[in-house]
Structure 1
Amino acid sequence: MTETRTLQQVKGGTYTVSIPREWAEARGVEAGEPIAFHRRPDGSLLVRSTDPADRPLAFTRIVVAGADESDDDSDGTDDIVRRLRSAYVAGYERIVVEPPPGDGTKGTTSTASISDGTRRAVRSMARGSIGITLDIEADDRIVLREVTDAGTAPFAEWIRRLRRLSASTQAEAVESILDGVSEPSAPPSLDHVASNREDRTRLVDAITRYVTRALADPDVFDRLGFDCRRLVGYALIAHELDRIADDVVALHHGCAHVDLGTCSPSESFVETADRLTEDAHHALERAVIAVTGSIDANTSTPSHGRSDHAIAAIETRDRVLDRVGALRDALRSGSSTRSDYRATCALGVLVKTVECAARIATLGIHDRESDV
């Protein structure tokens, strides 16, 4: 709800404006108490209470079955993992895991103990997540605590690492498919292509977590120095890079089970596909530079130069799509074979990669425009 109030000037030149009574009463704010003002990048002011209770992501509690309530330590572990991950991605600073309160207990302290299966799940979560640690582990209570300063979260570095993982998946998938094409008797292996899934999930979850923290906590938002558009852009890019890797693995999986027969495309097709793979890799690299400003932590690209990288990524997308179209036409004009299907899968990987690069590059262009 928008409410308009008149700005007034008091003796000494100070400007004042009254705060709605309903707002103050709802938050228990009284005359003489401090109020926080946060200057937004767009020039607006955010007013909020300084009461710690107004921090919605300070902590959350996950209630689990006690050890004596389950005959199997692994009972409900999958559900606990999902709840832990949800709390982590939601951005909570502290995640408290405990059984329901027992009879005669005070507050939230329980007399029941936490099962071994739950303990393993929480420890695994702490080891496999960025920015949190196992702070307290007692019989009836486990606490995960944030250790990475949300106000200094290295979004750009996480995006660059995610780009490398996605690009690696793309390159390995195409190479594996084309190896299978040149040696029709051997279907490609899936294990190494999907092997970085866990690392990608860890990075995407961390980026989502700290974007959420920044949007919910004005102090974190102010320290980062980003506007909302850039923060949301980082989250979108992370999910784009993760999705393209998953799509590539799915394409690879589909063609891995095709009986190749004895036919294979020409050597010129394989050579052209190799060159296009390099082009797709460079398009993704330049798109990430357009957003983060560099391809590694030791270099930096001026804002005006980032737009050049974004445009180059989009132009590369167009060139690759043109060449892929020509290769597909050539495959259609020849005799249809199962090997042609495998070649089409390889081209599909390239198409998905360059289209992902173009979407990221577009975000980079819009981000630069918002800085002008």
Structure 2
Amino acid sequence: MEIRKVQITGGSSYIVSLPKQWVKSMNIQKNDPIGLVVQPDGSLLVTPKITGESVHRVRVFEVGATTDRTFLLRLLVGAYIAGFTTIRLEAKGRLPPFIRQLVREFTQMAIGQEVISETNSSITLKDLLNPAEMPFENTIKRMHVLVRGMQQDAMAALRGHDEALAEDVIARDTEVDRLHWLIARQDNLILIDATLSRRMEIPVRQAAYYFQVSRIVERIGDHATRVAYNALALINREVDPETLDLMDEASTLALDIFSRSMEAFHVGDIGRANATLQMVRDLEEKTREINARVLQVEAVAAIPAGQIADSIRRIGEYSGDICESVINYIIGQEA
């Protein structure tokens, strides 16, 4: 940190000199305008970016016939979440067919990514989405609706031995993931570009809070998917009706806790968040009762049934994590 003294000029203007190295690195010339942005914590952001244009960043990956498909997909997702505006894949020779196929899959998974240029040896992807047009709150609300429906349908598939419905729940998990990636990307973009934070009217700390809650909702979606997978494992087996009833009761309670936690999140209600946390203990009691019952049946059915009970419990616990995040964030705002 450089310490500089405030000086007065003209009797009424307060001035602070800018670091020479920073001025040169930003290519700032005499009489160039710069922006001054007051941050929520009282600090002052000095930026040469005053036009409101997004920061343009490019990431290039070298690919070839020996490129690992899964690893490349992870790199693409990583570059997307990191906030790169343009992603380019380059090969020394002709691009292998599986690379083109993977790129098509990625553009379907990642919101806003489109192929803008393609040759025999390269593919260029560009983000065409304006982040300011996708408010964090709306995206998280959509995630909540999707995940809640997934868990309800997973339990319906279990009771009705509905293989198609269980597989549909599993497929929907991709939609939850892509919404979470979008929030993660926006969070990173706000960290990189202060002007975006101003345009979206979202302070950096609040963006991080939204990302944290989004991550928890995405994990709840993973457990709804896990319930669907285990419903498939029980598709040709009968589960004791009383055990099924207990599972339904526990799932209903878990989703009630989930919805209450999201309500507390959207309205910023500490009291509601705290009251919802108390409900998690009741859910734990119900899932323990389910586990005690499934231990009395054969292992081939007991294992998936026990995993369903565990996922229902985790849905409640993760919802409790949302409540804790609400309390922590609101208390921090009041400080």
Q: Shared fold by TM > 0.5?
A: yes
Name 2:281's counterpart in structure 1.
318
- Determine the C-alpha separation between the residues in 2 that align with 1:34 and 1:20: 16
Name 1:276's counterpart in structure 2.
250
Query: Which amino acid is the alignment partner of residue 256 of structure 2?
Result: H
What is the root-mean-square deviation in Å for CA atoms of aligned residues?
Answer: 3.5
Are the equivalent residues in 1 in contact too, given 2:284–2:313 (CA < 8 A)? yes
- Determine the C-alpha separation between the residues in 2 that align with 1:258 and 1:149: 44
In structure 1, the residue corresponding to 2:170 is in which secondary structure? Answer: coil
- Determine the C-alpha separation between the residues in 2 that align with 1:188 and 1:364: 37
- Determine the C-alpha separation between the residues in 2 that align with 1:257 and 1:126: 32
Query: Which amino acid is the alignment partner of residue 160 of structure 1?
Result: K
Deviation at 1:265, TM superposition (A): 4.0
Name 1:135's counterpart in structure 2.
116
In structure 2, the residue corresponding to 1:196 is in which secondary structure? Answer: helix
Structure 2 counterparts to residues 6-45 of structure 1, below 5 A: 6-11=5-10, 13-45=12-44
Name 1:105's counterpart in structure 2.
none
Greater gyration radius: 1
Going from structure 1 to structure 2, the CA distance change for 1:139 and 1:266 (only over 3 Å counts) comes to closer
Name 2:193's counterpart in structure 1.
217
Q: Which runs of no fewer than 5 residues in structure 2 stay unpaired? A: none
Name 1:107's counterpart in structure 2.
none
In structure 1, the residue corresponding to 2:40 is in which secondary structure? Answer: coil
- Determine the C-alpha separation between the residues in 1 that align with 2:141 and 2:223: 19
Deviation at 1:207, TM superposition (A): 1.4
Q: Which runs of no fewer than 5 residues in structure 1 stay unpaired? A: 101-111, 181-185, 294-300
Deviation at 1:215, TM superposition (A): 0.9
In the alignment, structure 1 residue 235 sits paired with structure 2 residue 211? yes
Query: Which amino acid is the alignment partner of residue 6 of structure 2?
Result: L
- Determine the C-alpha separation between the residues in 1 that align with 2:91 and 2:302: 57
- Determine the C-alpha separation between the residues in 2 that align with 1:187 and 1:231: 39
Deviation at 1:46, TM superposition (A): 1.5
Name 1:307's counterpart in structure 2.
270
Bigger drift between 155-164 and 316-325 goes to 316-325
CA deviation map 1:42-63 (0-9, x unaligned): 22112234499xx875222233
Are the equivalent residues in 2 in contact too, given 1:265–1:340 (CA < 8 A)? no
Query: Which amino acid is the alignment partner of residue 318 of structure 2?
Result: C
In the alignment, structure 1 residue 206 sits paired with structure 2 residue 166? no
In structure 1, the residue corresponding to 2:149 is in which secondary structure? Answer: helix
Structure 2 counterparts to residues 57-72 of structure 1, below 5 A: 58-65=57-64
Query: Which amino acid is the alignment partner of residue 127 of structure 2?
Result: E
Query: Which amino acid is the alignment partner of residue 39 of structure 2?
Result: R
Are the equivalent residues in 2 in contact too, given 1:166–1:244 (CA < 8 A)? yes
1:336 to 291, 296, 314: 296
Name 2:260's counterpart in structure 1.
286
- Determine the C-alpha separation between the residues in 2 that align with 1:160 and 1:248: 17
- Determine the C-alpha separation between the residues in 1 that align with 2:219 and 2:291: 28
CA deviation map 1:230-252 (0-9, x unaligned): 21222222222222332454466
- Determine the C-alpha separation between the residues in 1 that align with 2:47 and 2:321: 36
Are the equivalent residues in 1 in contact too, given 2:34–2:48 (CA < 8 A)? yes
- Determine the C-alpha separation between the residues in 1 that align with 2:69 and 2:291: 51
Structure 2 counterparts to residues 85-164 of structure 1, below 5 A: 85-100=77-92, 114-164=95-145
Name 1:353's counterpart in structure 2.
315
In structure 1, the residue corresponding to 2:171 is in which secondary structure? Answer: coil
Structure 2 counterparts to residues 353-372 of structure 1, below 5 A: 353-372=315-334
Are the equivalent residues in 2 in contact too, given 1:177–1:346 (CA < 8 A)? no
Aligned residues: percent identity? 20
Are the equivalent residues in 2 in contact too, given 1:251–1:348 (CA < 8 A)? no
Query: Which amino acid is the alignment partner of residue 149 of structure 1?
Result: N
Deviation at 1:64, TM superposition (A): 3.1
Deviation at 1:203, TM superposition (A): 1.4
Deviation at 1:79, TM superposition (A): 4.4
Name 1:298's counterpart in structure 2.
none
CA deviation map 1:182-224 (0-9, x unaligned): xxxx999852442212212211221111111111111111212
Going from structure 1 to structure 2, the CA distance change for 1:44 and 1:345 (only over 3 Å counts) comes to same
Bigger drift between 8-17 and 207-216 goes to 8-17
Bigger drift between 337-346 and 307-316 goes to 337-346
- Determine the C-alpha separation between the residues in 2 that align with 1:96 and 1:197: 27
Deviation at 1:17, TM superposition (A): 1.0
